[in-house]
Amino acid sequence: MNRLIKWLTLGIGIKRWLVLLTLSAMIVAIGISSIFLLSINIHIAGLSTLDELIISFSFIILGCLGIATSSLKITRRLLEPFRGSQQGKVIDNLYAHSRRQRGMKVVAIGGGTGLPSVLRGLKGVTSNITAVVTVADDGGSSGRLRRELGVLPPGDLRNNIAALADDENLMTRLFQYRFNAGDLGGHAFGNLFISALAGVTGSIESALVETGRVLNIQGQVLPATLDDVNLAALVQLPNQNRSIMVHGESSITDANGTIEEIMLDPASVAAYSGSVKAILEADVVVIGPGSLFTSILPNLLVKGIQEALRATNAYSIYVCNVATQPGETDDFSVADHVMALEKHVGRGIFQVVLANNVYPAENAGSNTRYVTPAPENHDIFQRYHIRYTDLTDSERPWRHDPAKLARSIIKIRNEERSGATIP
């Protein structure tokens, strides 16, 4: 009864069009009935006039126009509260939404600032995207919240949720806003939001689902594990013939040495079941880009994630970084990246290596060191398809351009489906 009263409330803009719809349907029915009766008269008595036929058809046409108008008005009125920040025509949004819903199932694995490039590029093509993100961060805002509240570090989760949302949406910009003064100095609003929502809902899984709804993201963002995990690394010190064990992600790159091995602490963390399921059901798995030792490998070292990658029927692509990262991959080539992955997780995790082969000087600055191609006679050419193409962002050439990256991934996927040889 409550709902019925609401429908009858003045000013909601539905009743008048429902009345018109009803009247129009009645007019069409009258027109059809008239023609039916006229046809009987013609058959029995041979009586009919052109004027009567014209009037009957006029009723039908008039009624159809009324039905079309009222249906359009009712549909627009009903959809209006749900359109939110969606811009443009309803049919354009509906078409784009339907196209994305039918898109390929993609799982993107990584973290940091690299993985969002994949998500931004692919979210316009498919909404069946799952980002599997590392939760080993112990620095900055994420580290503080982790120590003070006992939550999973939300920073990488936040960045990738924002990447799947509308970049122009005010809520998305608010989500990425970082306080620069006071007790909240250094905290991103999104980190606080996710942490608070985890407290309200009782779990980080529920918090991520609700956050995705708030920002209306295309896809989902999941942690690689729900366990409290840290990173440790065996690092060879510069100009010294010895290695030390470094604990904590934020301390690893600060050591300024050569990373010989990266490991999880504890080593036997359990993979999040939702992430495993997404990998097993995927059409395409994209690994990277991102910090090799502190964003990509922390996901792959989770045993359940690693096992799922070996078991899935998805076509797996490793996206190599455009530029080297100080303290992690100094002077690394494409081959060095691949060999580091093989050293830690073995072979058979991916089939294709997608790498950049354009090295612009404009906007690069003096600190950019590009990842060099693999030597022509290197062993990785026997185990993987190596695809080189321009992946650089013109404004920030040390990063991937989302559109170029998405086009290359889709092209590789289409070639694989058609059985074409990937050079």
Angle, alpha carbons 106-94-107 (nearest 5°): 5
Are 100 and 124 found together in one domain?
Answer: yes
Are 358 and 256 found together in one domain?
Answer: no
Are 418 and 311 found together in one domain?
Answer: yes
Are 270 and 418 found together in one domain?
Answer: yes
Q: Is residue 217 part of a domain?
A: no
Are 19 and 122 found together in one domain?
Answer: no
For residue 348 the two structure tokens come to 């058979």
For residue 320 the two structure tokens come to 């190599």
Q: Is residue 218 part of a domain?
A: no
Query: Is 234 within 8 Å of 260 (Cβ atoms)?
Result: yes
Are 405 and 349 found together in one domain?
Answer: yes
Are 408 and 282 found together in one domain?
Answer: yes
pTM for this model (two decimals): 0.80
Q: Is residue 389 part of a domain?
A: yes
Are 23 and 152 found together in one domain?
Answer: no
Residue 319: give its domain's CATH number: 3.40.50.10680
Are 274 and 370 found together in one domain?
Answer: yes
Are 250 and 289 found together in one domain?
Answer: no
Query: Is 245 within 8 Å of 232 (Cβ atoms)?
Result: yes
Number of domains in the chain: 4
Q: Is residue 328 part of a domain?
A: yes
pLDDT at site 374: 97
Full domain range(s) for residue 145: 140-211
Are 327 and 365 found together in one domain?
Answer: yes
Give, for all 423 residues of the chain, the pLDDT tens digit: 677 666 666 666 777 888 899 999 999 999 888 888 877 766 555 555 667 778 888 888 998 999 999 888 887 777 665 555 555 555 555 555 566 667 899 999 998 889 999 999 999 889 899 999 999 998 889 989 998 998 999 999 999 999 999 876 788 889 999 999 888 999 999 999 999 999 999 999 999 999 998 898 889 999 999 999 999 999 998 888 889 999 999 899 888 889 999 999 999 999 999 999 999 999 999 999 999 999 999 999 999 999 999 999 999 999 999 999 998 999 999 999 999 999 999 999 999 999 999 999 999 988 999 999 999 999 999 999 999 999 999 999 999 999 999 999 999 999 988 776 555
Are 168 and 291 found together in one domain?
Answer: no
Name the residue type at position 172: T
The rounded distance, in Å, linking the Cα atoms of 418 and 112 is: 33
The rounded distance, in Å, linking the Cα atoms of 42 and 46 is: 4
